[in-house]
Amino acid sequence: MAMTGSNKAVAAQQNDPNSFAASVKDAAIAGLLVAVLGFFFIGIRTDIAPGGLDLKMRWGAWIISILVVFAGRLLLNLFVLRTDSPLTRKFADAMPSGTRFAGTGKWLMRALFAFALVLPFFFTTFFPGKDRQFIDLAILIMTYIMLGWGLNIVVGLAGLLDLGYVAFYAVGAYSFALLAQYLDIGFWFALPLAGILAACWGIVLGFPVLRLRGDYLAIVTLAFGEIIRVVLLNWYEFTNGPDGISGIPKPTFFGLELKRGEGGFADFFGIAYDPIQRFIFLYYIIFILALITNFVTMRLRRLPIGRAWEALREDEIACRSLGINTRNTKLTAFSIGAMFGGFAGSFFATRQGFISPESFTFLESAIILAIVVLGGLGSQVGVVIASVVMIGGIEMLRNLGFLQQVFGSGFDPVQYRMLIFGLAMVLIMVWKPRGLISTREPSVVLKEKKRIGADMVAQGEGH
């Protein structure tokens, strides 16, 4: 009934949850909560002062935050949560529904692919001033796409929760860096070695732990990720510890270095040297690596091993009753996922030219896992969308200089990057718990291809 916001609503009964009074009350509770939560953090700041710690009171900020939350919650109540005609419904009606969206997934994928193919030239043509920055961002996103696709094999297909995926990323990066440093091996030769080494580590780590179930597996993989990081950090003689390894060689184009002058790529082809060429080259390397990852994954899904992974995710006991060696099947998933992580790692090393254990913290694992889950487990397109949104999104925050004019010079949007990233993770998950693309495509079809709704698909161990 109540036309919210109007006078009628105020007159409405007290017990109507959609009434204005109820909305205000709810908003007031939210405000009170913020008052409590923010008291020690927004209201007070401990600072190091001569002779110990000092307290700085910021009651203004505290009160503003309370008011902002109160107003925000009130507006949300009035227009979305506690109304008969939420605004979001209009948006939802305007947006294509989930199933139709899934149907267009194929076309979306093709469009994305075409765009990715010409991306560097798109930026050099249309954003000549900022092309380097954009291509760099595209490389970063593409790296995460590749990592997401690699982890998708383990988590999305085989249903094994791996919280230490970054370990294989680190193994790949350090393999290349150390091979280059000690044996003077180039990128193209080190790349497969790094992948194989990471796969071996996947088997070594996976062998003892893969019979653990669900969250136990998660915590042990997390522990392994941390162990590898700590070892890299402390094995000073070999890995140079926290100082990291620098001077990692750049990849060559069939033996041609992308450098200025004699014998370089530009010289050989007789074109003018431009530093952007190196970025474009790196972009295409990671693009091709990611494509290989995708191709292999899609192929594997249609092979018995891929179906066995998915069957394993659905019901391990039934798998065993059908003669599937579950341990080996899990190990293949783990090691193939690790291999792609290793490839991505050695690409990361060559791109940066410098690596240190700081790049391989648990946060990286969490981000990669978040990309996989937010995109929709098992969905290759989902990973792409989630990578673009999450990684592209937080990098975009670096460019919001105009906000400083709004909030004053003390405001640094970069500081808020991770805060917003975390909030986005929570919000997207609450909004779409199954991820953005949640339907599953069958791997084999008799007559008619029907997509399978997410509510049918199991999510792996311990569900």
Partner 1 sequence: MDAATTMKNSDQSTPNWDRDPVLSVEHLTMRFGGLVAVGDLSFNVGRGDITALIGPNGAGKTTVFNCVTGFYKPTEGRIVMRHGPGRQQDDVETLTDSGQRWKTTGNGAVYLLERMPDHEISHKAKVARTFQNIRLFGGMTVLENLLVAQHNPLMVASGFSIGGILGLPSYKKAQQEAVDRAVYWLEHTNLVDRADDPAADLPYGAQRRLEIARAMCTKPQLLCLDEPAAGLNPRESAELNELLKYIRDEHKVSVLLIEHDMGVVMEISDHVIVLDYGVKISDGPAEFVKNDPKVIAAYLGVDDEAEIDMPEVREDLAKVTGDEPAKKASASKPASAAKKQGAAEKKSGSASKKTGATKTSAAKAAGAKASAAKATKPRTSKSSASKPATSKLAATTASSEKAAAPAAPKTVAAKPKTAAKPKAAAASKAAPAASEIKIANAGDYPGSQPHGTKKPRAGGANNLTRVKGIGPANEKKLNALGIWHFDQIAAWKKAEVQWVGSYLAFPGRIEREEWVKQAKVLAKGGETEFSKRVDKGQVATSVPGKRGAQPKKKTTAKGGKA
Partner 2 sequence: MEYFVQQLINGLTLGSIYGLIAIGYTMVYGIIGMINFAHGDVFMIGAFIALAMFLILTTVLGFAFLPVVLLIVLIVAMFFTSAWGWTVERLAYRPLRGSFRLAPLITAIGMSIVLQNFVQITQGARVKPLPPQIQGGITLMEGSATGIVVQLSYMQIIIILTTVALMAGFTLLITRTPLGRAQRACEQDRKMAALLGINVDRTISLTFVMGAALAAVAGLMFVLLYGVIDFYIGFLAGVKAFTAAVLGGIGSLPGAMLGGLLIGLIEVFWSGYFSVEYKDVAAFSILAIVLIFLPSGLLGQPEVEKV
Please say which residue, 31 or 435, places its beta carbon nearer to partner 1: 435
| SS3 call for 260 | coil
- Give the span between the Cα atoms of 412 and 403, in whole angstroms: 8
The binder of 63, among partner 1, partner 2, none, by C-beta within 5 to 8 A per type, is: none
- Give the span between the Cα atoms of 151 and 158, in whole angstroms: 10
- Indicate which single residue of 319, 331, 371, 384 sits in contact with partner 1 (rule: CB under 8 A): 319
Alpha helices in 127-165 (DSSP H): 131-151
- Kindly state the smallest distance separating residue 444's Cβ from partner 1, in Å: 6
- Indicate which single residue of 41, 299, 396, 462 sits in contact with partner 1 (rule: CB under 8 A): 299
- Kindly state the smallest distance separating residue 45's Cβ from partner 2, in Å: 6
- Kindly state the smallest distance separating residue 46's Cβ from partner 2, in Å: 6
* Strand-pair category, 245-246 with 52-57: unpaired
| SS3 call for 8 | helix
User: Which residue type does 368 have?
Assistant: I
Q: How far is CA 74 from CA 28, 69, 102, in A?
A: 8, 8, 35
- Indicate which single residue of 64, 80, 117, 318 sits in contact with partner 1 (rule: CB under 8 A): 318
The binder of 323, among partner 2, partner 1, none, by C-beta within 5 to 8 A per type, is: partner 1
Instruction: Tell me: does residue 303 bind partner 1 (CB under 8 A).
Output: yes
User: Which residues within the stretch 194-213 sit at the binding site for partner 2 (CB under 8 A)?
Assistant: 208-209, 211-213
Burial class of residue 125 (count of CB atoms within 10 Å of its CB; 0-12, 13-18, 19+): exposed
Please say which residue, 159 or 375, places its beta carbon nearer to partner 1: 159
Please say which residue, 178 or 333, places its beta carbon nearer to partner 1: 333
Instruction: Tell me: does residue 463 bind partner 1 (CB under 8 A).
Output: no
The binder of 54, among partner 2, partner 1, none, by C-beta within 5 to 8 A per type, is: partner 2
The binder of 178, among partner 1, partner 2, none, by C-beta within 5 to 8 A per type, is: none
Q: How far is CA 112 from CA 109, 116, 381, 384, 440, in A?
A: 5, 6, 9, 9, 20
User: Which residues within the stretch 394-453 sit at the binding site for partner 1 (CB under 8 A)?
Assistant: 440, 442-450, 452-453
User: Which residues within the stretch 75-94 sit at the binding site for partner 1 (CB under 8 A)?
Assistant: none
Q: How far is CA 266 from CA 131, 258, 278, 280, in A?
A: 19, 7, 10, 13
Cβ-based neighbour number of residue 39 at 10 Å: 13
Instruction: Tell me: does residue 456 bind partner 1 (CB under 8 A).
Output: yes
Instruction: Tell me: does residue 358 bind partner 2 (CB under 8 A).
Output: no
- Kindly state the smallest distance separating residue 299's Cβ from partner 1, in Å: 5
Residue 15 corresponds to which tokens in the numbers above? 């017990």
Instruction: Tell me: does residue 320 bind partner 1 (CB under 8 A).
Output: yes
Please say which residue, 222 or 285, places its beta carbon nearer to partner 2: 222
| SS3 call for 447 | coil
CB contact at 8 A, 265 and 258: yes
User: Which residue type does 55 have?
Assistant: L
- Indicate which single residue of 133, 252, 352, 459 sits in contact with partner 2 (rule: CB under 8 A): 459
CB contact at 8 A, 100 and 57: no
- Give the span between the Cα atoms of 43 and 25, in whole angstroms: 23
- Indicate which single residue of 14, 15, 52, 456 sits in contact with partner 2 (rule: CB under 8 A): 52
User: Which residue type does 121 have?
Assistant: F
DSSP one-letter string for 292-334: HHHHHHHHHHTSHHHHHHHHHHH-HHHHHHTT--HHHHHHHHH
- Indicate which single residue of 13, 25, 39, 189 sits in contact with partner 2 (rule: CB under 8 A): 39
Size of residue set near partner 1 by CB under 8 A: 40
The binder of 112, among partner 1, partner 2, none, by C-beta within 5 to 8 A per type, is: none
Euclidean distance between the first and final Cα of the chain, in Å? 41
CB contact at 8 A, 109 and 381: yes
The site for partner 1 (CB under 8 A) is made up of 296, 299-300, 302-305, 307-308, 310-311, 313-315, 317-326, 332, 440, 442-450, 452-453, 456-458
The site for partner 2 (CB under 8 A) is made up of 33, 36-37, 39-42, 44-48, 52-55, 155, 161, 208-209, 211-216, 218-220, 222-224, 226-227, 230-231, 233-234, 317, 362-363, 366, 369-370, 373-374, 377, 415-416, 418-419, 421-426, 429-430, 433-434, 459-460, 462-463
